[in-house]
């Protein structure tokens, strides 16, 4: 048979590999800064751009979409060409994909620090960047499918199944969750409100973990692990079962991020049970990885690449077992809003994503640079520093999370709360310090790797075009190996795409549609009214400064939370919240009913210097809010956008909104003046106070909220 000669494009792989390294270092440095700010508020430097509320979203976006994102593309571009025995479909598309993605990352970093954010976790980027992401993702899809369609291999290997499912699901999640109403070039409001927004957001957020941090990495594990260990994949049938089960079940589990919230109970229960059912499919991947190493464990002792991979897969197994346990309501009651969640995600991020990426880099760079790794010993050192880093990071966080949650729940025998919120924070600060040391160690390990790789690259030369040969794929190309029923779909990438899409769409549709259409899921409360223009401006400041990163707005129906914060939150209270701001972490106390709890002057002093009102507080100062004026020019556009989203402001209200705004600002100014605080009425702090004083007050004084169907 005629054999064709072609060339794998290693240059694009190299580009993505270097981008992975660069953004990994940047993302982890930002993470370290955030970790230090947790016990050293002065490390916020008194600037809006470097304050925790903006630094943390930058950290999460950088490590997820920049570090792991480039890692995915590195793995896909290397393995896909070889698994399909063809170069990438189009070098131009590869380049557009690469530079487009880097441009998105840079613009994300700038806009997030500047305070342009949608306020939805892991989807903070504003609408122009959302559109850019969609376009680049489509470019990636065309390039991937073009490559698959011109393959010289009849069947698709399991890694490619995962790539296909990843592509289609991420596209669906990103598009649905990013529906927003633009107000200006860098400001938009989420299309959805309150409970519905929360459900869409966590359907997205949970599955961003599933289909950005898990499935593509499982795909590249299925390529690089057998390659590095030189062992056959343990079980083909396990691959089949765990792949389909994983993508089908994963998508349902989003509501486990909203247990005990105002989300309808039926949706919460679905989140619980699908999370439990997810254990086995997740572990299928771990087993297939670890059992592939049967007969190669002697190599694991010697080879740093395999060591990294083994720890990565083990961490994957731990995180995917812990996740379902955290979805049980009784466990979630303790873990949610505490540092336990932070520990959990870092087992996944540092262990699974980080270590697998490192293992692949150590394996791949010497190959495309045609030279052995500069120092195997240094790689071993990196492995140990990194592992100790993970341990030092996660154990204090588990400890802190459990301790603090227990302190929150503690009552005295007399029936009063045993601890003030602040006491529970100051109690765990030593653990925050240890955590940052763990993070620092992990980062040092990464620097060791960067050094090792730079040395390797210097010693070798890039094999930009790697020659390969294969016979063309003909209709009658014989199938190698046994023929199984599943082979049918392995020959049909487009059907695979469609079936994957149908499977992942089912869970989403069955949870989202009833929540949107059935009115009883969100009983309306007649006393809940839209925000005044000043409160709306304050709310936008709240979002822009990332207050939701540390403060929740969701009082769960627990005795301790009701005692501490007030009546538990009801679904009907959030109907005008575009976007919802329930938060996912309580570094500071819940703010759902902060309204009217403290005087205006308290808030004024507290924003200027939190420690003056709460001695020992770790909240940074927001002093600039005292000087910066409210952007009143944006008020009419904001009101109009809200009206288009269905918020019932009167017709033509956008034209008079600013008059109302100034009236309310003036009344707050007068109250502050009575407490001897002199400030002009048009300062951001005034809008902030207006919003804070409004929060959760709509149903106060009406103990039995009237529900209307």
Partner 1 sequence: MKPFSLQLHKKLSIATILFLLLFIQQPAWAAGPPVPSEMSNPIAQLLVGIIVALLLIIMLLAYVVLGAAELYLERYQETKKAAKLLLLTGMILGAAPLYAEQTAGSSEAVVKLSDTSLYTLIAVILVEFGTIFYLLINLRALLSKEKAIAPSAKPSFSFSAWWEKFNRFKPVQEESNIDLGHDYDGIRELDNRLPPWWLYGFYACIFFAVIYLYRFHVAHTAPLSGEEYQLAVTEAAADKEAYLAKAANKVDEKTVVYQTSPDYLAGGQKIFSTTCTPCHLADGGGSVGPNLTDDYWIHGNTIQDIFKTIKYGYPEKGMKSWQEDYTPAQIAQLASFVKSLHGTHPAKPKEPQGILVVEAGKSTADSTHPAPSADSLVGKPVTQ
- Site residues (CB under 8 A) for partner 1, limited to 99-158: 153, 155, 157
The least distance separating partner 1 from the CB of residue 279, rounded to whole angstroms, comes to 6
The least distance separating partner 1 from the CB of residue 316, rounded to whole angstroms, comes to 15
Backbone angles phi, psi at 544, to 5 degrees: -65, -30
Q: Which of residues 290-329 bind partner 1 (CB under 8 A)?
A: 291, 294-295, 329
The least distance separating partner 1 from the CB of residue 417, rounded to whole angstroms, comes to 5
CB 669 within 8 A of CB 680: yes
334 three-class SS: helix
Identify the residue among 498, 656, 675, 680 touching partner 1 (CB under 8 A). 675
The least distance separating partner 1 from the CB of residue 599, rounded to whole angstroms, comes to 3
Sign of the C-alpha dihedral computed for residues 539, 257, 219 and 398 taken in this order: positive
Please, which residue, 226 or 389, has the CB nearer to partner 1?
226
Region from 433-441, 498-506, 536-544, 610-618 binding partner 1, contact rule CB under 8 A: 610-618
How far from chain centre, in Å, is Cα 318? Answer: 19
Region from 388-396, 442-450, 599-607, 643-651 binding partner 1, contact rule CB under 8 A: 599-607
Size of the site for partner 1 (CB under 8 A): 73
Q: Is the peptide bond preceding residue 268 cis, with omega within 30 degrees of 0?
A: no
Please, which residue, 376 or 487, has the CB nearer to partner 1?
487
Place of tokens 């049967």: 294
CB 77 within 8 A of CB 12: yes
Q: Cα–Cα distance between 502 and 629 in angstroms, integer?
A: 50
The least distance separating partner 1 from the CB of residue 153, rounded to whole angstroms, comes to 7
Identify the residue among 598, 623, 632, 653 touching partner 1 (CB under 8 A). 598
Return the C-alpha torsion angle 186, 188, 194, 196, nearest 10.
-110
Please, which residue, 450 or 705, has the CB nearer to partner 1?
705
Please, which residue, 190 or 327, has the CB nearer to partner 1?
327
CB 300 within 8 A of CB 307: yes
Q: Cα–Cα distance between 544 and 660 in angstroms, integer?
A: 23
Give the CB-side neighbour count of residue 669, counting CA atoms within 13 A.
15
Q: Helix crossing, 533-544 with 684-694: angle to 10°?
A: 100
Residues 6+ apart with CB under 8 A from 161: 219, 243, 490, 496, 500
The least distance separating partner 1 from the CB of residue 436, rounded to whole angstroms, comes to 27
Identify the residue among 49, 186, 602, 653 touching partner 1 (CB under 8 A). 602
Residues 6+ apart with CB under 8 A from 702: 527
CB 39 within 8 A of CB 425: no
Please, which residue, 501 or 574, has the CB nearer to partner 1?
574
142 three-class SS: helix
Please, which residue, 85 or 551, has the CB nearer to partner 1?
85
Please, which residue, 21 or 158, has the CB nearer to partner 1?
158
The least distance separating partner 1 from the CB of residue 459, rounded to whole angstroms, comes to 26
Identify the residue among 467, 475, 481, 704 touching partner 1 (CB under 8 A). 481
The least distance separating partner 1 from the CB of residue 259, rounded to whole angstroms, comes to 8
The least distance separating partner 1 from the CB of residue 218, rounded to whole angstroms, comes to 15
Region from 98-106, 185-193, 387-395, 476-484 binding partner 1, contact rule CB under 8 A: 476-484
The least distance separating partner 1 from the CB of residue 144, rounded to whole angstroms, comes to 16
Q: Does 6 bind partner 1 (CB under 8 A)?
A: no
Please, which residue, 301 or 482, has the CB nearer to partner 1?
482
Q: Cα–Cα distance between 77 and 147 in angstroms, integer?
A: 10
Give the CB-side neighbour count of residue 664, counting CA atoms within 13 A.
25
Region from 189-197, 266-274, 302-310, 520-528 binding partner 1, contact rule CB under 8 A: 266-274
CB 649 within 8 A of CB 596: no
User: x/- binding map, residues 176-215, to partner 1, per CB under 8 A?
Assistant: ----------------------------------------
CB 204 within 8 A of CB 176: yes
Please, which residue, 414 or 475, has the CB nearer to partner 1?
414
The least distance separating partner 1 from the CB of residue 351, rounded to whole angstroms, comes to 21
Q: Which of residues 430-459 bind partner 1 (CB under 8 A)?
A: none
Please, which residue, 50 or 527, has the CB nearer to partner 1?
527
Region from 15-23, 281-289, 373-381, 392-400 binding partner 1, contact rule CB under 8 A: 281-289
Q: Does 650 bind partner 1 (CB under 8 A)?
A: no
Largest CA distance in the chain: 93
Region from 51-59, 223-231, 365-373, 493-501 binding partner 1, contact rule CB under 8 A: 223-231
Tokens found for residue 545: 């400064």
461 three-class SS: coil
Place of tokens 């020019």: 633
Q: Is the peptide bond preceding residue 579 cis, with omega within 30 degrees of 0?
A: yes
User: x/- binding map, residues 405-424, to partner 1, per CB under 8 A?
Assistant: ------xxxxxxx--x----
Identify the residue among 166, 268, 327, 643 touching partner 1 (CB under 8 A). 268
Q: Does 597 bind partner 1 (CB under 8 A)?
A: yes
The least distance separating partner 1 from the CB of residue 455, rounded to whole angstroms, comes to 28
Residues 6+ apart with CB under 8 A from 253: 206, 210, 271, 274, 275, 278, 327
Q: Which of residues 71-90 bind partner 1 (CB under 8 A)?
A: 79, 82-83, 85
Tokens found for residue 648: 């019932």
Identify the residue among 6, 145, 186, 234 touching partner 1 (CB under 8 A). 234
Q: Helix crossing, 215-229 with 355-368: angle to 10°?
A: 50
**Residue closest to 494 by CA, chosen among 216, 211, 148:** 148
Tokens found for residue 310: 């083994």
For the chain, the straight-line distance linking the first and the last C-alpha, in angstroms and rounded, comes to 72
Q: Which of residues 505-544 bind partner 1 (CB under 8 A)?
A: none
Residue 411: strand pairing partners:
417
Please, which residue, 359 or 389, has the CB nearer to partner 1?
359
CB 116 within 8 A of CB 126: yes
The least distance separating partner 1 from the CB of residue 250, rounded to whole angstroms, comes to 14
Give the CB-side neighbour count of residue 207, counting CA atoms within 13 A.
34
Q: Which of residues 558-587 bind partner 1 (CB under 8 A)?
A: 558-559, 562-564, 568
The least distance separating partner 1 from the CB of residue 567, rounded to whole angstroms, comes to 11
The least distance separating partner 1 from the CB of residue 84, rounded to whole angstroms, comes to 9
Q: Does 679 bind partner 1 (CB under 8 A)?
A: no
Please, which residue, 605 or 634, has the CB nearer to partner 1?
605
Q: Does 376 bind partner 1 (CB under 8 A)?
A: no
Alpha helices in 518-614 (DSSP H): 533-544, 559-565, 600-608, 610-613
DSSP 8-class letter at 531? P
Please, which residue, 45 or 411, has the CB nearer to partner 1?
411
Region from 207-215, 238-246, 301-309, 336-344 binding partner 1, contact rule CB under 8 A: 238-246
Please, which residue, 526 or 612, has the CB nearer to partner 1?
612
């Amino acid at each position: 048979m005629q054999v064709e000669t072609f060339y794998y494009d290693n240059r694009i792989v190299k580009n993505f590999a270097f981008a992975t390294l660069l953004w990994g270092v940047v993302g982890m440095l930002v993470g370290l800064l955030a970790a230090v700010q947790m016990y050293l508020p002065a490390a916020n430097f008194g600037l809006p751009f470097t304050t925790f509320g903006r630094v943390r979203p930058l950290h999460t976006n950088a490590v997820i979409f920049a570090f792991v994102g480039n890692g995915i593309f590195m793995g896909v571009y290397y393995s896909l060409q070889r698994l399909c025995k063809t170069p990438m479909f189009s070098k131009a598309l590869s380049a557009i994909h690469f530079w487009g993605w880097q441009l998105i990352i840079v613009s994300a970093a700038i806009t997030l620090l500047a305070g342009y954010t949608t306020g939805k976790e892991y989807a903070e980027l504003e609408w122009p960047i959302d559109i850019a992401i969609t376009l680049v993702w489509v470019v990636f899809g065309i390039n991937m499918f073009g490559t698959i369609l011109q393959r010289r291999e009849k069947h698709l290997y399991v890694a490619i199944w995962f790539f296909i499912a990843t592509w289609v699901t991420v596209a669906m999640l990103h598009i649905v969750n990013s529906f927003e109403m633009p107000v200006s070039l860098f400001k938009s409001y989420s299309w959805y409100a309150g409970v519905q927004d929360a459900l869409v957001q966590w359907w997205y957020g949970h599955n961003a973990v599933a289909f950005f941090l898990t499935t593509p990495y499982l795909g590249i594990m299925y390529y690089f692990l057998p390659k590095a260990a030189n062992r056959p994949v343990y079980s083909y049938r396990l691959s089949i079962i765990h792949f389909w089960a994983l993508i089908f079940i994963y998508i349902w589990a989003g509501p486990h991020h909203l247990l005990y919230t105002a989300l309808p109970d039926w949706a919460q229960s679905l989140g619980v049970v699908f999370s439990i059912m997810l254990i086995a499919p997740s572990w299928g991947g771990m087993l297939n990885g670890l059992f592939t190493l049967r007969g190669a464990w002697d190599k694991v002792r010697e080879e740093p690449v395999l060591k990294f991979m083994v720890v990565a897969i083990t961490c994957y197994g731990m995180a995917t077992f812990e996740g379902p346990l955290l979805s049980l309501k009784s466990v979630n009651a303790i873990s949610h809003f505490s540092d336990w969640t932070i520990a959990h995600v870092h087992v996944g991020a540092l262990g699974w994503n980080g270590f697998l990426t490192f293992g692949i880099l150590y394996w791949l760079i010497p190959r495309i640079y045609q030279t052995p790794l500069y120092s195997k010993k240094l790689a071993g050192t990196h492995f140990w520093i990194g592992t100790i880093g993970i341990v030092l990071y996660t154990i204090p966080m588990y400890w802190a999370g459990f301790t603090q949650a227990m302190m929150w729940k503690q009552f005295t025998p007399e029936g009063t709360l045993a601890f003030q919120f602040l006491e529970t924070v100051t109690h765990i600060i030593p653990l925050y310090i240890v955590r940052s040391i763990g993070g620092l160690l992990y980062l040092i390990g990464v620097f060791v790797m960067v050094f090792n790789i730079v040395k390797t690259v210097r010693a070798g030369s890039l094999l930009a075009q790697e020659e390969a040969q294969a016979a063309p794929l003909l209709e009658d190309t014989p199938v190698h190996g046994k023929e199984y029923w599943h082979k049918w779909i392995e020959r049909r990438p487009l059907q695979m795409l469609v079936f994957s899409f149908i499977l992942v769409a089912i869970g989403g549709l069955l949870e989202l549609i009833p929540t949107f259409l059935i009115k009883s899921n969100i009983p309306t409360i007649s006393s809940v009214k839209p925000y005044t223009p000043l409160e709306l401006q304050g709310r936008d400041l709240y979002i822009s400064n990332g207050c939701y990163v540390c403060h929740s707005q969701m009082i769960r129906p627990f005795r301790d939370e009701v005692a501490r914060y007030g009546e538990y939150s009801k679904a009907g209270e959030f109907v005008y919240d575009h976007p919802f701001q329930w938060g996912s972490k309580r570094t500071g106390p819940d703010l759902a009913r902060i309204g009217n709890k403290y005087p205006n002057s308290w808030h004024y002093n507290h924003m200027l210097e939190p420690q003056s009102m709460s001695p020992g507080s770790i909240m940074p100062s927001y002093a600039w809010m005292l000087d910066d004026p409210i952007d009143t020019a944006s008020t009419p556009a904001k009101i109009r956008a809200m009206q288009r989203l269905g918020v019932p402001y009167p017709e033509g209200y956008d034209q008079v909104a600013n008059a109302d705004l100034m009236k309310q600002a003036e009344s707050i100014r007068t109250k502050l003046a009575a407490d001897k605080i002199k400030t002009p009425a048009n300062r951001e702090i005034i809008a902030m106070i207006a919003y804070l004083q409004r929060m959760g007050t709509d149903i106060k004084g009406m103990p039995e909220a009237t529900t209307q169907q």
